[in-house]
Structure 1
Amino acid sequence: MTKAMQYSPSRQGDRQSGVSHAGLGGAAHHGGIGPAARIASWRWKPRVAHIQNAAAADVGRGSETMMTFARGDLFRAARWLKTGGHRAMVVTGFYIPQAEHPAAESDGPVGAIELCEALRAIGSDAWLVSDEPCEPIIRAGASPRLPEDHVAIAPADAQGFDEWIDAMHGLSDRNNIDTVIYIERVGPARDGNPRNMRGFDIDQWTAPLSRLTGLGLHVIGIGDGGNEIGMGRLDSMVIEDVVEHGERIACTVPADELIVSGTSNWGGHALVCAMYAMGCRRIAPLLDISWHQSVLADVARAGGLDGVTMRNTPTVDGLSEERYYRQIRMMSDIARGRC
């Protein structure tokens, strides 16, 4: 995939289909802990709910409304992850083929890398997963922060992808991976094809990573616009009613928990902040603004795009730096008990 590639609508059918979602059912929602510990965990719920409200701050896509239909999922997802010992694939990457210089957007990779670092810091493990069109941006953000063998890149062609997904089954079995976290990863809409917020079919540039749900693992979805993997947890009517082009773009793939946020990076940070609020103090460095600025700068230097302006700037979804980092700082302060 090169920068010279030009955008044209795809009509390649539904290679994104064939998605299943087994999940772990009730045990997953309980976070793998016993009844007494579950009851005790509810002492964290008010603070986590405050973090969830901050993450869902609306930037024009109806995130606050959509979040109300998944209220409590941030708490359940954080409780599942905080116990330690979990091994996760963290999947991200949203390619923008119609930009002047096509590349992956900056929303998603920052939050995904943050989650990988958080899990590794508490004694769990994580693999960052994306596809070839997004690879330059993903590796630029990950290379100083994750081992090279913990970054998995899926090929864009169908035959290569089938072989790759078989290899991921092996990786999952060998490493006892039990969780898949999707953050700002577009998934199949009702017609089987992934569509961006403008309603364009981008199947040609999008490996069907939603097929990882077929591994039968616990699935957490993080998104901001209705077209991301995990949004199938919501009634499609909600997305259709509050999101422009919602009837065309709404992703049909569900998750065990769904975190809806104003930007997906905010959703990733909300999950990290919720884990911190629940006692995971080793992830404290990730609450500092400087960490986020550093990763976003690396992503931008590699050509990462603002998903709204489609320009190569160290910004996210058309927001000013002041507005974007204000929400990051607010969630960190809530997690620390400062507000």
Structure 2
Amino acid sequence: MPDIMGEYVDRLVTVEMRNRGMNYGIVKQIYDAARAEGGGRPISARAAEALVATVKPGDVVFIVTGAGYAPEVPNGESDGPPGAAALARAIYWGLKAVPVYVTEECHAPPVIASSKAAAVMVREFELAKTRRMGGAIITAPEDRSITADWAREAVATYNPKAVISIERLGPNDQGIVHGSTGVAKNCVDLGHIFVAAKEKGILTVGIGDNGNEIGFGRIYDFMRDFHPYGRETQYPGGTGVISVIATDVFLPASISNWGAYGIAAMIAFLIKDQDVLQTPEMERKILEACLDAGGWEMRYCTSRFIVDGTAGESSMSIIQLLRDMLRLNLAAPDRGLSHGKMKETAQ
């Protein structure tokens, strides 16, 4: 049953909606490559099963996010923090664990605002850990020369049982972080968190939408040849935007937030609790909170109700469809009054 649900969750979150000026006509092929590399099963189901099997009440889960920088979007973009908040909601209310956001200082305001709108308060770590009073947040140092050591220390100190990346930019083979269209970004490399997690055998999950995010290292060779900026950048000497950081499970989506919603929906399905996934009305509040806190839409760098070029109502509709899928799949078998008796099936 999880594969039936996961099949259609994956289809829904990979419906491509992109302006032709961007990298377009690529989501299906990228998803197919990732699914084949992972063994052929629906990816949202695999990710949710791994999290449900690994994460126990009271455990810490890192959620790494943050994309977009000054001068265009000083506090980042509207794709990332809402998805992180949806995952935190599933982890906190569903798995009874402690979500800890990991990001840069500039991205913290929209992450915190999105989380609060998702009913996961961001508190001091000790309150979150010892009294289950919400989640927590840690921010990376601005000095990039110490990021690797900081990442190892953070993993050792907080001892996460899983680390999830959602729309977090990762380095290419030259150690440079890029936007999806070949523009270099002057930012901290949080891929070090995943390197440190791998050293300790910690479960890692990645969600991305355009090749430059953490997780795409799982299908690196394919992406190098397939992606429009797989081997080039918008400056001389660049070797492409594809991130070399791999995760244990990787879900490419049309919009990264949607991939996170799909995994949250599958967690809800596995634990049989539809309310783990936010409602469409809550999704509106999450997106508005993100935008108001500076996590703007990326195309024209404004607070319009938009995520990756799609209207906010589209994200609300994705949530509605996911919740209806949950409602129907979790309900007891029922034909109603007009379809006759159900066939008996072997148990």
Please show how residues 1-339 of structure 1 align to structure 2 within 5 Å: 43-60=1-18, 61=24, 62-71=26-35, 72=41, 73-83=43-53, 84-85=55-56, 86-99=59-72, 102-121=74-93, 122-143=95-116, 145-149=120-124, 150-159=136-145, 161=147, 164-173=150-159, 177-202=160-185, 204=186, 206-213=187-194, 214-216=196-198, 217-238=202-223, 240-241=225-226, 243-247=227-231, 248-281=240-273, 284=275, 286-337=277-328
Q: CA deviation at 1:254?
A: 0.7
1:30-56 per-position Cα deviation (integer Å, ceiling 9, x unaligned): xxxxxxxxxxxxx32111111011111
Q: CA deviation at 1:275?
A: 1.2
Give yes or no for contact 2:211–2:223 (8 Å, CA) kept in 1.
no
% same residue: 23
Give the TM-score taking structure 1 as reference length.
0.79
Shift in CA distance, 240/102, structure 1 to aligned 2, threshold 3 Å: farther
Which AA in structure 2 matches 1:267? G
Runs of 5+ unmatched residues, structure 2: 19-23, 36-40, 125-135, 232-239, 331-347
Which AA in structure 2 matches 1:52? D
Q: Which runs of 4+ in 1 moved over 6 A?
A: none
Measure, in 1, the Cα distance between the counterparts of 2:71 and 2:27: 25
Runs of 5+ unmatched residues, structure 1: 1-42
> For the aligned residues, what is the CA RMSD?
2.2
Largest Rg, 1 or 2: 2
Does 1 or 2 have the higher relative contact order (CA < 8 Å, sep 6+)? Answer: 1
Measure, in 2, the Cα distance between the counterparts of 1:97 and 1:272: 30
Give yes or no for contact 2:223–2:242 (8 Å, CA) kept in 1.
no
Q: Which residue matches 2:335?
A: none
Measure, in 2, the Cα distance between the counterparts of 1:313 and 1:218: 36
Q: CA deviation at 1:237?
A: 2.9
Partner SS for 2:66: coil
Give yes or no for contact 1:70–1:259 (8 Å, CA) kept in 2.
yes
Measure, in 2, the Cα distance between the counterparts of 1:255 and 1:163: 20
Give yes or no for contact 1:108–1:183 (8 Å, CA) kept in 2.
yes
Which AA in structure 2 matches 1:321? G
Measure, in 2, the Cα distance between the counterparts of 1:274 and 1:234: 23
1:236-266 per-position Cα deviation (integer Å, ceiling 9, x unaligned): 334542x432321111111111111110100
Shift in CA distance, 244/332, structure 1 to aligned 2, threshold 3 Å: farther
Which AA in structure 1 matches 2:5? R
Give yes or no for contact 1:91–1:183 (8 Å, CA) kept in 2.
yes
Q: Which residue matches 2:237?
A: none
Give yes or no for contact 2:152–2:193 (8 Å, CA) kept in 1.
no
Give yes or no for contact 1:309–1:317 (8 Å, CA) kept in 2.
no
Give yes or no for contact 2:115–2:121 (8 Å, CA) kept in 1.
yes
Give yes or no for contact 1:104–1:305 (8 Å, CA) kept in 2.
yes
Partner SS for 2:301: coil
